Amino acid sequence: MRVKHGEIPDRQWQKRLHEIIFEADTPAGKAFDVVLICAIVLSVVVVILDSVGSYQAKFGGFLYAAEWFFTILFTIEYVFRLLSVRRPLRYAGSFFGWIDILSILPTYLSLLFPGVQYLLTVRILRLLRIFRVFKLTEYVSEAHILTTALRASARKIGVFLFAVLSLVTVIGSLIYVIEGEQNGFKDIPTSIYWAIVTLTTVGYGDLAPKTGLGQFFASIVMILGYGIIAVPTGIVTVELSKSARSTQHCPSCSAEGHDADALFCKYCSERL
């Protein structure tokens, strides 16, 4: 984690700051992280409550103040983060650097574009640091298995998505021609939206075929969706099954990925 945030700096005050902000081994570092997590959760709650009419009517002023309070707090924190790393630009460009900036920007932008401040809920992603603070390494390893499986299936899922997007375009056009504007399918983009709503089995019902032919066609699409929804499930299952496999290392060539029942290394034939 630390490596991703730029290397530890040389100067003494910077080193100390880095320890507090980026590490959780010292009491000060741990206290900082706990306070940070509370602040994040609170600030997200403030944003959510601010959107609810009845709360805004009663506590509007307080919620507005709290929003600015947290934004300024996170802005100061962001500046200190940049100060405490050796290469501030590299940190600013990292995943957590982007999340940090996206977590304060909307409040400032809301001065120009009212309503944008509701995007502040993106702050919840900062909670991903939680795993580091509480040393939830077991959870990290579980998350690792999940992400490995998802990354390994990325290409298969890419091919699959391309196929699905082509399919919904064609299906959307067909239903547009079959049902037409008088039945709510007012243009092809809307019809493609219907095709996605149907194929993913979400089925809002805001658009539904009304003619007999349209219902017949929709039935075919739904049964097709049966098979289609099975594909990503199958892909993820197979990959999860693989990445859950024994992580045995070969003593000779240290290759990984052997089956649980392998007796010899499948790459160099050494006995495992």
Binding residues among 196-215 for a second copy as defined by CB under 8 A: 196-198, 200-206, 208, 212, 215
CB of 193 to a second copy, least distance (A): 4
Question: Which of 171, 130, 176 has its CA nearest to residue 24?
Answer: 130
Binding residue for a second copy, selected from 17, 41, 109, 255, defined by CB under 8 A: 255
Which residues, in sequence order, are CB contacts of 190 under 8 Å at separation 6+?
184, 207
Could you give phi then psi for residue 246, rounded to 5 degrees? -55, 140
Q: Which is nearer to a second copy, 18 or 179 (CB)?
A: 179
CA distance 270 to 272: 6
Residue 232 CA, chain-centre distance (Å), reads 18
Q: Can residue 47 be called a binding residue for a second copy (CB under 8 A)?
A: yes
Question: Quick check: 127 and 45 in contact, CB under 8 A?
Answer: no
Tokens of 227: 């098979």
Question: Quick check: 106 and 119 in contact, CB under 8 A?
Answer: yes
CB of 93 to a second copy, least distance (A): 21
Q: Can residue 253 be called a binding residue for a second copy (CB under 8 A)?
A: yes
Tokens 């160099």 -> residue: 268
76 vs 20, 97, 208, CA distance in Å?
Answer: 14, 14, 52
CB of 70 to a second copy, least distance (A): 15
Tokens of 213: 């032919």
In terms of C-beta density within 10 A (0-12 exposed, 13-18 middle, 19 or more buried), how is residue 79 classed?
exposed
- Tell me which residues in 95-154 interact with a second copy (CB under 8 A): 115-116, 118-122, 124-125, 127-128, 138-139, 142-143, 145-146, 149-150
Q: Which is nearer to a second copy, 79 or 128 (CB)?
A: 128
Segment contacting a second copy by CB under 8 A, of 10-18, 23-31, 77-85, 255-263? 255-263
Segment contacting a second copy by CB under 8 A, of 17-25, 59-67, 75-83, 249-257? 249-257
Q: Which is nearer to a second copy, 28 or 174 (CB)?
A: 174
Q: 154-193 mask for a second copy (x: CB under 8 A)?
A: -xxxxxxx--x-x--xx-xxx-xx--x-----xxxxx-xx
Segment contacting a second copy by CB under 8 A, of 6-14, 62-70, 89-97, 227-235? 227-235
Dihedral angle over CA of 194, 196, 202, 206, nearest 10: -10
Binding residue for a second copy, selected from 35, 76, 101, 229, defined by CB under 8 A: 229
Q: Which is nearer to a second copy, 10 or 112 (CB)?
A: 112
Please give the biggest Cα pair distance in the chain: 77
Give how many residues touch a second copy by CB under 8 A.
103
